[in-house]
Structure 1
Amino acid sequence: MSSKLRWTIAVILLGGLLGILNSTMAAVATGTLAAAFDTSLSTIGWASTGFLLAVTATIPFTTWAVDRYGGKRLWVAGLVLFLAGSLAAGLAWNVGSLIAFRVVQGVGAGLLDPLVLILLARAAGPRRAGRVMGLMGVVLSLGPVLGPIAGGAILGALTWRAMFLISVAVGVVALVLALRVIPADEPAPSREAGPSRLDVVGLALLGPGFAAVVLALSQTAEQGAFGVWQVLAPLGLGVVLLIGYGAHARHPGPLIDLRLFRSRSFTASVTIMGLGGMGLFAGLFALPLYYQQAHGHDVLAAGLLMAPLGLGGSIAMPLAGRLSDRLGARGLAAGGGVVAVASVLALTRIGPDTAEVWPALAAFTFGLGSGCFSAPTMGSLYRTLPGPMVAQGSSVLYMLNQLGAALGVALVTLVVQTADSTIAGLRGVFWLAVVSNLVVLALIPFLPGKVRAPEPVREGAHA
């Protein structure tokens, strides 16, 4: 791998880390922000919910825009939007302005997040897809763990405004490096790849449809119940919009061609990553609750005790990704799935008298197992997708991963709130994680066993 390619990958990963760190830091600051603006926790929660919805709704647009305007131009635009939102959020004067500026941040992150996968896949090529996706996995593993730790440390030493302004400083560095390092690319029309016209109807159905479903899951977590109008209304709207997109996608030139799912390896890959996101975020929310409720630790200490989970993933993903380029995804992913199931089974046995070292060790091995099936799975996705389909595949992957993460958080809240005790609820959460990882194991045989050429797209699927 050349030094130029290494620099390109590093700069892309830095930009990808921005959104993950900022969203997880803001989640830790909910109580602080509510006190600063003299408002309720439910109201200030829209600063995070608005960010998440903006990300989800923007992702399908990125699918089209990356080929229409070029990857580098869109990356720079995403960074500028994110920087503007971060600066404005740090200067917010009331809760309404904060929520609005967090939405601007979310639009920027909605451009950047799928672009990370698209630009990495294009820079690396199919032969190095596993290696590069393994490096991306380090960001995905460490970001959700480092965010709460960094947020707690910043809030302890500085004001909440510093949390957003630090993102500006890091973002400026990422922007300067991106302008210097990321290679320029031509828009798709000049390369005769991808539709030149935006599928406006598809965008109006798909983006809001997924955002509505994510909102329903977020409201499930906030309301602590499923059968309430705050959940059922957005869920019903989201289902109707997504069904409408399914009917619309039969016409030529859809935003995302659903014929992608005719490939068994593609369907298995994105489903595994969605279930993996659900299990990971369930653990990321359940374990801090355990450390706080059962052992009385504060937010920062609980965040530090979460570090083994991210550390395990960050160790496993680059190694598994590199090996998958030579050996294929199936064997590595199966081994990782077995380790993940065994680790979560161990977490179902934790109680108030369990020493912290045991859940920390189980979280570490869970991270190792998840990393061993996630990086090869992502690598296999980009090895089997034809080049013009990479943008669409990345958007599907990221949307389903977002959906899985939101579902994981909602399940943690529902199970814990309806259980007889917090410990019983947390054990129930880990049993759900066992089930999700068993489903992952069942899907792994559909992944490619050996490295092979990209599958042909059937019957003229559109890029």
Structure 2
Amino acid sequence: MTQVRDDRLDTALLRLIGVTLLGGIMGILDSTMVTVAADTLSQAFGSSLSVISWASTGYLLALTVTIPITSWAVRRFGVKRLWLFGLVLFVAASLASALSWSVESLVLFRVVQGAGAGILDPLVLVILARAAGPSRAGRVMGMMGVVLSLGPVLGPVLGGLLLDSMGWRSMFYINLPIGIVAFMLALRVIPTDPPGEQDARTPLDIVGFLLLAPGFAATVLALTQAGEHAEFAAPAVLAPLSIGLALLFGYVVHALRVRTTEPLIDVRLFTSRSFAASVTVQGLVGLGTYAGLFALPLYYQIIHDHGAGGAGLLVAPLGLGSAFAMPIAGRLSDRLGARSLVQGGAVLAAAGAFALTRIGAESGEAWSALAALVIGFGLGAVGAPTMGSLYRTLPAEKVPQGSSVLYNLNQLGGALGVACAALILAAAGAGGVSGGIGGFQQVNWFLLAVAVVILAASPLLPGRLQEIPSTALDTASDADPAGERQQAHR
């Protein structure tokens, strides 16, 4: 007889969501908050901006390197112990960063802080996906998506407020009370791993780690440099990009051949249509979001002569639209599946991007803010259902690996979005429209193209989730690594 699962979010689950997001929000905010302090830090340490930039780049690279190993560490140490360790590491590194006495010490402590975030970020998904179950994955991921959407927007705003009122060290000190409270609550709320789920004898795929982690890091570094140099042909871009892609290719070959240990990420997961489509679409959401977050502030600063603070506030509708759409779309996806919602969201995002291509230098800020709100709403309607579909099609034992893939592709998508936007603006400048509206219109045509690609990929996502036996939701066969038999596609 078919068993219908209770899909309500009970008090215990809501408490778990709140505690988990409290711990996870620190890394999300810190990834962007420090960027507004570059000039202040340069003056404080008497260093160049290029050197100071490594406080952000080092954080990002450490985060990227750490994420792939988290899936192994979950099996080796368990979710709860690893979560508590990640909190301690992040808070300790935040305190050390606040006490930095030189630019070298700041970069070093920021690297450690990034490693802590690399543990916490994918574990947020692991904890919530396991607690929610397939029938509630969409709405829980929608609630998490609010934090993911607002983090990149609120980070610079919060960083600017702290910088102006209490100095640059306060941007790190603020993590101490949040982290301590998150740790104490996690001791009580994060569930202990069931017996048998962790294995102290689980071997680490060392060769895989030496290929995958630096491969992702080198690729992200190349895309970051492409954004800074506004070109892909620069040696600072081509060298790490070539190394990164070669290492990632080497990892794929290794993962398909390894037999003595389990690979950090089972590349056979990509043979599942649902899994491959979900992580690809989520990467495209990151690409579009960060391209917009890069170009819109420049538009307000160059075209409308706003300061950094005013431009940051005018970009907020992009994040607010996504934050508003995420929980609604996530809840609906638990009943309707991801496909139709993603299609509607992609159409909305394309419409908002098209509206921005029509805005001229004389257009008021209200129209561009409204268009950004529509883009954010559309991307939010894509993001939550896509994440929900990922965790509905993954067997429980593959959730940590799926989370690692999702976060790494999101990082790559974000870095690629910034690089593409910078390249488009630079090319427009070379064509004689530097400082004008032409380059920004071209970036928005790029955003529209991203939305069209999402729309084209949407048929590969799962359709409506049918009522199925609860035992089937918790198991998967070796022949079907992403559990696609659990889904009924319209």
| 1:352 Cα offset (Å) | 2.2
Q: 2:343 aligned to 316, 334, 337, which one?
A: 334
Q: Which amino acid aligns with 1:329?
A: A
| Equivalences for residues 345-384 of structure 1 within 5 A | 345-384=354-393
| 1:230 Cα offset (Å) | 1.0
* Distance in 2 between residues matched to 1:440 and 1:24, nearest whole Å: 26
Q: Which amino acid aligns with 2:464?
A: K
**1:35-90, Cα deviation, whole Å (9 max, x unpaired):** 21111111111110000000000001001101211111111111111111111111
Contact 1:294–1:351, Cα closer than 8 Å, also in 2: no
Q: Which amino acid aligns with 2:68?
A: P
Q: Which amino acid aligns with 2:47?
A: T
* Distance in 2 between residues matched to 1:363 and 1:167, nearest whole Å: 30
**Identical counterparts, % of pairs:** 59
Aligned counterpart, 1:241: 247
**1:288-327, Cα deviation, whole Å (9 max, x unpaired):** 1111111111111111111111111111110110111011
Aligned counterpart, 1:125: 133
Q: 2:321 aligned to 287, 312, 315, which one?
A: 312
Matched, 1:172 2:180: yes
* Distance in 1 between residues matched to 2:359 and 2:303, nearest whole Å: 10
Matched, 1:199 2:205: yes
| 1:249 Cα offset (Å) | 0.5
Aligned counterpart, 2:479: 459
The 1:421–1:69 alpha-carbon spacing in structure 2 relative to 1, beyond 3 Å, is same
Matched, 1:303 2:312: yes
| 1:438 Cα offset (Å) | 0.6
* Distance in 2 between residues matched to 1:149 and 1:280, nearest whole Å: 17
Contact 2:33–2:158, Cα closer than 8 Å, also in 1: yes
SS at the partner of 1:184?
coil
Aligned counterpart, 1:210: 216
Matched, 1:441 2:455: yes
Unmatched 5+ stretches in structure 1: none
* Distance in 2 between residues matched to 1:29 and 1:244, nearest whole Å: 38
The 1:78–1:6 alpha-carbon spacing in structure 2 relative to 1, beyond 3 Å, is same
TM-score (norm 2): 0.91
* Distance in 2 between residues matched to 1:272 and 1:195, nearest whole Å: 36
* Distance in 1 between residues matched to 2:167 and 2:386, nearest whole Å: 41
| 1:457 Cα offset (Å) | 4.7
Q: Which amino acid aligns with 2:434?
A: S
Root mean square deviation, CA, Å: 1.8
Q: Which amino acid aligns with 2:213?
A: G
* Distance in 2 between residues matched to 1:299 and 1:191, nearest whole Å: 49
| Equivalences for residues 417-432 of structure 1 within 5 A | 417-419=426-428, 420-422=433-435, 423-432=437-446
Q: Which amino acid aligns with 2:365?
A: E
Matched, 1:146 2:154: yes
| Equivalences for residues 25-424 of structure 1 within 5 A | 25-186=33-194, 190-191=196-197, 196-250=202-256, 251-252=258-259, 253-419=262-428, 420-422=433-435, 423-424=437-438
* Distance in 1 between residues matched to 2:482 and 2:208, nearest whole Å: 14
* Distance in 1 between residues matched to 2:155 and 2:181, nearest whole Å: 19
* Distance in 2 between residues matched to 1:277 and 1:195, nearest whole Å: 36
Contact 2:97–2:106, Cα closer than 8 Å, also in 1: yes
**1:411-460, Cα deviation, whole Å (9 max, x unpaired):** 12222122132322222211111111111000111111111565945438
Unmatched 5+ stretches in structure 2: 1-8, 467-471, 484-490
The 1:266–1:461 alpha-carbon spacing in structure 2 relative to 1, beyond 3 Å, is closer
**1:109-162, Cα deviation, whole Å (9 max, x unpaired):** 000011111111001111100010001110111111111111111111121011
Contact 1:282–1:409, Cα closer than 8 Å, also in 2: yes
Contact 1:260–1:457, Cα closer than 8 Å, also in 2: no
* Distance in 1 between residues matched to 2:102 and 2:330, nearest whole Å: 45
* Distance in 1 between residues matched to 2:115 and 2:75, nearest whole Å: 18
Aligned counterpart, 2:6: none
TM-score (norm 1): 0.96
Aligned residues: 461
* Distance in 2 between residues matched to 1:443 and 1:376, nearest whole Å: 14
Q: Which amino acid aligns with 1:281?
A: Y
* Distance in 1 between residues matched to 2:385 and 2:293, nearest whole Å: 22
Q: Which amino acid aligns with 2:345?
A: G
My pick for the range that moved more, 170-179 or 254-263, is 170-179
SS at the partner of 2:127?
helix
Contact 2:272–2:480, Cα closer than 8 Å, also in 1: no
Contact 1:64–1:255, Cα closer than 8 Å, also in 2: yes
Contact 1:317–1:375, Cα closer than 8 Å, also in 2: yes
Contact 1:257–1:462, Cα closer than 8 Å, also in 2: no
* Distance in 1 between residues matched to 2:404 and 2:25, nearest whole Å: 17
* Distance in 2 between residues matched to 1:279 and 1:456, nearest whole Å: 33
* Distance in 1 between residues matched to 2:19 and 2:312, nearest whole Å: 27
Contact 1:309–1:364, Cα closer than 8 Å, also in 2: yes
* Distance in 2 between residues matched to 1:122 and 1:140, nearest whole Å: 19
SS at the partner of 1:450?
coil
**1:311-369, Cα deviation, whole Å (9 max, x unpaired):** 11111110110111011111111111100111111111223211000111011111111
| 1:191 Cα offset (Å) | 3.3
| 1:223 Cα offset (Å) | 2.1
* Distance in 2 between residues matched to 1:456 and 1:347, nearest whole Å: 45
